[in-house]
Amino acid sequence: MPHITALDTLDVRFPTSRELDGSDAMNPDPDYSAAYVVLRTDDPDGLAGHGFAFTIGRGNDVQRAAIQSLDHLVVGRSVAEITGALGDFARTLTDDSQLRWLGPEKGVVHMAAGAVINAAWDLAAKRAGKPVWQLVSEMPPEQIVDLIDFRYLTDALTRQEALDILRAAAPGRAERTEYLLTQGYPAYTTSPGWLGYSDDKLARLARQAVADGFGTIKIKVGRDVDEDVRRVQIARAAIGPDIGLAVDANQRWDVDAAVDWISRLAPADLAWVEEPTSPDDILGHAEIRRRVAPVPISTGEHGQNRILFKQLLQAGAVDLLQIDAARVGGVNENLAILLLAAKFGVPVVPHAGGVGLCELVQHLAMIDYVAVSGTMRDRAIEFVDHLHEHFRDPVRVRDGRYLPPRAPGFSAEMLPATLAAYSYPAGTAWHAGLTEDGTTNYPPAADLSTKEYEIS
Amino acid sequence: MPHITALDTLDVRFPTSRELDGSDAMNPDPDYSAAYVVLRTDDPDGLAGHGFAFTIGRGNDVQRAAIQSLDHLVVGRSVAEITGALGDFARTLTDDSQLRWLGPEKGVVHMAAGAVINAAWDLAAKRAGKPVWQLVSEMPPEQIVDLIDFRYLTDALTRQEALDILRAAAPGRAERTEYLLTQGYPAYTTSPGWLGYSDDKLARLARQAVADGFGTIKIKVGRDVDEDVRRVQIARAAIGPDIGLAVDANQRWDVDAAVDWISRLAPADLAWVEEPTSPDDILGHAEIRRRVAPVPISTGEHGQNRILFKQLLQAGAVDLLQIDAARVGGVNENLAILLLAAKFGVPVVPHAGGVGLCELVQHLAMIDYVAVSGTMRDRAIEFVDHLHEHFRDPVRVRDGRYLPPRAPGFSAEMLPATLAAYSYPAGTAWHAGLTEDGTTNYPPAADLSTKEYEIS
């Protein structure tokens, strides 16, 4: 009977700010980082569960400390007990009353719970010999609803309604699984559109994205409206009229500013406008959506928990919902959000990018397709071709589609060499940049160049 | 020209869970704690600014780490520069793009910013030789609006509207200050009503509260509806028909459960029902309020930021708004919330208790009276008689009213002996409880008894 013997954490950071990959109007210089957790066991085969919270640099140590603070809830417990009742396990992590005070259910403590819950899913899926998407997609509806904390949801979605949705989707599971395995799941790409890129680079990468088979691209906006009008025109000219063009404002606007700005950009025929304002502003999104209709509005990557998503749907605030695999309370809370979206008939278009977010979130989109909404219509998973080389089971995108992961687990595990080299501040990647006074600096470009957009 | 020479942090915890002081339906065993910060300067008079985030035990170390992570934004800066432009300073702390990702503007990182911002206010007020409430109440309206970050607020409150509110209140400031100094500000007390208390203790403390001059008492509910009905009846019988009786559910219910439960309690004539559901659930509160009208609904102590408060007001979700001095981004963000409440005509009834929350929040209520809403009608500051003896300038409550602080600063400074004895885990108060395996345990009761309810 194996047990959890340790909850180990690591501060892993990539100096992405050097190349302005990932730059947007709110986040000019992100260093993509992972507060990384490993649930170690005494299983003779070396079974371990990996997970992480995603951050953009400073504060990754705070996030790591928050993950570490959960170890009293995990270490010493039976692996079978945890993986056999992942709903109970998730509630244990989000319900510690003293830690809950620090959120509740939001921000650093909630992302910490999400990281550990996702690591437990990695453990459970490895133990079952299946990728997470398949593990969940094969569960009976009753088992799936047991994973979910319906507290604060029942005015919008009861356990019985969730069961009904899952049961309605059950008959087509086998056929959809087969389709998914052969055809993959649509991707869209953000790689062309970072704010730091030149017009030429934008146009070149946009054309390349179309050639690589993507049906939608996304570019960042929100720094200067005239510049944005020019850039969406460049992008539209590069991709032609039949490819989707989304824009992402990364929370830059107040309500009136959003309406004015979106009205200027709308002639480029926008697939959606992402994060026009604060991720907390449910009523603000609803007001913007009403005033710029029919331009589609989306948000969710910074959505703090299921209660926020519930209200976005109740208020009619969004046309698309953008889940993130590492912001909320793990697979469990994202299952609640997928079911809420299905109840309200709103497509889920997952947020990814960063480091490892594509690896995780693809599983959730595939669960949505096979077991929840039963459709890929109006849906696509974000794809950014950064940092996948650091993972043991990296995403595979071909002809603009994600191919389903086949390896057991949650695709969350980084390579040992990466964990060593990018550990902050002691890893060799950062050590190269240590200055005389002991502060860190960027290592030479040759050691750390991140790849430009290029489909593998 | 003095500068900030250090940002020191301390993990201070009080073992309050021993006595069930502070117990409620969501928080059965809180150890009231402060992630404490001192902004040290090289001022020859030893000038320093004190502040803290309030937590209830585990995770106070994570909160402390988050405060420490802000030191690069503070240490080395000129004291005059910071205290002369506290609006800019506050934005510096909430706008660090990498740290902001961990919220944004919520949870651990936002409470950390709030602690440091409040410490800067303590510094500014000591430097000015005035208590914070007086410092702000004497500022011209133009200077007050410069303190506020209007981002994400302008659909509900513009800078000009805020100016208009402050200017309308300006003529009566002197008269109201005089009234406040002589008459104080109404308090209400939660001391009788903790869930862990026996019926006899509840009745005895309720009668004592009335004898001590309080016009309203509050009791905790939410664990068992029949028990709650009995307890509100005991409380109502003890205080008679003319004293306000509020109940606090501490987020225990979903929408339908709240409506059912409140309907059972309503015959006791409730002054308000506090935190009926998730603090994030704006639309849920609005729905509950609509269905139990005219029973007044309140929330806010866990309100994450000004954007949430804006929506609570826009949605008509509350009859009363309950600010907390240490949950949001310090004095600055609470000024925004006071102005929003004034715009919507909703009374602010501050949350306090814990450790040090009464000391801080009294200043904000007094600013509201003198410079913003201009009234004490339907308002009172929560009072719990716990742990005030640990502060250099503790609150003074007489005949059910807070007397305005007179000492320069924000009343945030704990006594050096307290900081030493209650530092966790090395302080003598905790050392007494160290077990053989190095884990901590509660020290003997004789060393640490917290006072029962007793008006000083």
- Residue pLDDT, tens place only, A272-314: 999 999 999 999 999 999 999 999 999 999 999 999 999 999 9
Q: Strands (DSSP E) along B237-339, which ranges?
A: 244-248, 273-274, 297-299, 320-321
From residue B155, alpha-carbon distances to A54, A375, B416 in Å are 32, 37, 46
In a domain, B158, yes or no: no
Handedness of CA A130, A131, A132, A134 (dihedral sign): negative
Residue A19 has pLDDT above 90, yes or no: no
Is B181 found in the same domain as B117?
no
Is B426 found in the same domain as B394?
no
Residue A455 has pLDDT above 70, yes or no: no
Rounded distance, CA A94 to CA A88, Å? Answer: 10
User: Contact B284/A108, CB-based, under 8 Å?
Assistant: no
Is B434 found in the same domain as B314?
no
In a domain, A343, yes or no: yes
User: What is the pLDDT at residue B433?
Assistant: 52
The per-residue pLDDT for range B30-58, each reduced to its tens digit, is 899 999 999 999 999 999 999 999 999 99
In a domain, A152, yes or no: no
User: Contact B155/A254, CB-based, under 8 Å?
Assistant: yes
Look at residues B239, B243, B240, B231 and name the one whose alpha carbon lies nearest to residue B194.
B231
Rounded distance, CA B379 to CA A4, Å? Answer: 52
Interface of B with A in 165-194 (CB under 8 A): none
Average pLDDT, chain B: 93
Return the residue in B60, B97, B223, B299 with the most chain A beta carbons within 10 A, the one to mutate for interface testing.
B97
CATH code at A68?
3.30.390.10
Q: Which residues of B touch A103 (CB under 8 A)?
A: 107
Is B287 found in the same domain as B366?
yes
Residue A412 has pLDDT above 80, yes or no: yes
B251 — contact with chain A (CB < 8 Å)? yes
Rounded distance, CA B419 to CA B443, Å? Answer: 17
Interface of A with B in 78-137 (CB under 8 A): 96-111
In a domain, B455, yes or no: no
Of the two residues B428 and B296, the one the predictor is more confident about is B296
Is A434 found in the same domain as A392?
no
8 Å CB contact between B429 and B422: yes
Is A246 found in the same domain as A351?
yes
Is A340 found in the same domain as A191?
yes
In a domain, A261, yes or no: yes
Q: Could you report how far apart the first and last alpha carbons of chain B are, in Å?
A: 41
Rounded distance, CA B351 to CA B333, Å? Answer: 15
Rounded distance, CA B240 to CA B219, Å? Answer: 15
The per-residue pLDDT for range B115-165, each reduced to its tens digit, is 999 999 999 999 999 999 999 999 999 999 999 999 999 999 999 999 999
Q: Is the pTM of this model over 0.80?
A: yes
User: Contact A108/B62, CB-based, under 8 Å?
Assistant: yes
Is A358 found in the same domain as A271?
yes
Q: Which residues pair with B186 in a beta bridge?
A: B401
User: Contact B59/A98, CB-based, under 8 Å?
Assistant: yes
B282 — contact with chain A (CB < 8 Å)? yes
Domain tally, chain B: 2
Q: Which residues of A touch B59 (CB under 8 A)?
A: 66, 69, 98-99, 101-102, 109
Nearest Cβ partner for B61 among A65, A111, A152: A65
Q: Which domain holds residue A29?
A: 4-130+414-448
The residue in chain B having the minimum alpha-carbon distance to the alpha carbon of residue A259 is B155
A390, with CB counted inside 10 A (0-12, 13-18, 19+), is: buried
Looking at this predicted complex, what is its ipTM?
A: 0.94
Residue B446 has pLDDT above 60, yes or no: no
Rounded distance, CA A70 to CA A98, Å? Answer: 11
Q: Which amino acid is at B12?
A: V
Look at residues B225, A128, A222, B216 and name the one whose alpha carbon lies nearest to residue A120.
A128
In a domain, B198, yes or no: yes
Rounded distance, CA A257 to CA B165, Å? Answer: 24
Please compute, for residue A391, the number of CA atoms within 13 A of its CA located in the half-sphere on the CB side.
Answer: 27
> Phi-psi bin for B414: left (phi > 0), alpha (psi -120 to 50), beta?
beta
In a domain, A59, yes or no: yes
Residues 6+ apart with CB under 8 A from B206: B192, B193, B217, B219, B234, B235, B238, B239
User: Contact B256/A154, CB-based, under 8 Å?
Assistant: yes
Nearest Cβ partner for B307 among A27, A57, A281: A281
User: Contact A57/B315, CB-based, under 8 Å?
Assistant: no
User: What is the pLDDT at residue A197?
Assistant: 85
Look at residues A455, A456, A448 and name the one whose alpha carbon lies nearest to residue A31.
A448
Residue A27 has pLDDT above 90, yes or no: no
Interface of A with B in 353-382 (CB under 8 A): none
Handedness of CA B329, B332, B334, B336 (dihedral sign): negative
The residue in chain B having the minimum alpha-carbon distance to the alpha carbon of residue A32 is B98
Is A430 found in the same domain as A398?
no
Rounded distance, CA A222 to CA A277, Å? Answer: 10
In a domain, A101, yes or no: yes
Rounded distance, CA A271 to CA A294, Å? Answer: 10
Is A372 found in the same domain as A252?
yes
Helices (H), A42-106: 60-68, 79-84, 86-94, 97-100
CATH code at B233?
3.20.20.120
Is B176 found in the same domain as B123?
no
Is B121 found in the same domain as B176?
no
